[in-house]
Structure 1
Amino acid sequence: MNVGGPEEEAVGCPLTAVAARYLPRLSEFAFEPGLVAAVDQHAAAVRDALVPRQRRPWHDLLPQRIERVCAPQRMRREDLTDYVVGFTDVLAESDWREPVGYDFAVLRLTAVCWLIREYDLLSG
């Protein structure tokens, strides 16, 4: 599966290709409340897989430190890129074709776009 086409090779970042293809779907949030929930769940799954939370026993934490210590670390462009490459490779191997609506893959790629935007992964 080639989600990006020629512009992917030109820019050299799979995230750019996915963003070009699926970022416009974020505008559909205004019209599809269920879509917001579905994409949010997919974004959380990707984020949890890529950004581990720092774990500590609760008795070691002072209340003012709990939020800082348990907060997720910053999403890294390299990690999300590796995820996207693996995910799109599996889609290509299964001969996936983008449906008119939303399936698991479209929701996951739309969630990747939300993460790209949320963590500003295409700038700099």
Structure 2
Amino acid sequence: MLYPEGWSAAPLRWAMETVGARQLALLPEHPGLLAAVDQHVAALREAIEVNEETLGDYLLGFVDELRERNWTFTGEPDFATLRLTAICLLARELGYLDDELPA
């Protein structure tokens, strides 16, 4: 996975560009994938108070863990990909990526 300099200044945008856009485009045609992502969305809503700051902070911590494990995005719907897709889905639905400001 690529971590360009400054990626952590706008982690939600980085996640959308790196994983989210590609994965979210698959959801309408893959109901099983959508159901799995929805489960991750529900888990996130239970684990944190979802707002732009907490979602971004959660993402930073999650990605730090992925980096420690040397995880790489392969496109397969593993736990990490589903969780990152859920974060992107929430960010998009809540409008956190609608403007040009860092998110």
TM-score, with length taken from structure 2 = 0.84
Identity of aligned residues (%): 41
Kindly indicate whether structure 1 or structure 2 has the higher relative contact order, using CA contacts under 8 Å at least 6 residues apart: 2
Contact 2:75/2:81 (8 A) holds in 1: no
Contact 1:18/1:113 (8 A) holds in 2: yes
Which segments of structure 1 move beyond 4 Å, counting only runs of 4 or more? Answer: none
Quote the Cα distance in structure 2 between the aligned partners of 1:100 and 1:13.
Answer: 22
Q: Secondary structure at the match of 2:77?
A: coil
Whichever of the two has the greater Rg, that structure is 1
Match of 2:82 in 1: 107
Contact 1:14/1:81 (8 A) holds in 2: yes
Quote the Cα distance in structure 1 between the aligned partners of 2:42 and 2:35.
Answer: 10
Q: Structure 2 matches for 1:21-32, cutoff 5 A?
A: 21=18, 22-32=20-30
- How many pairs were matched up? 98
Match of 2:46 in 1: 48
Contact 2:12/2:59 (8 A) holds in 1: yes
Contact 1:7/1:17 (8 A) holds in 2: no
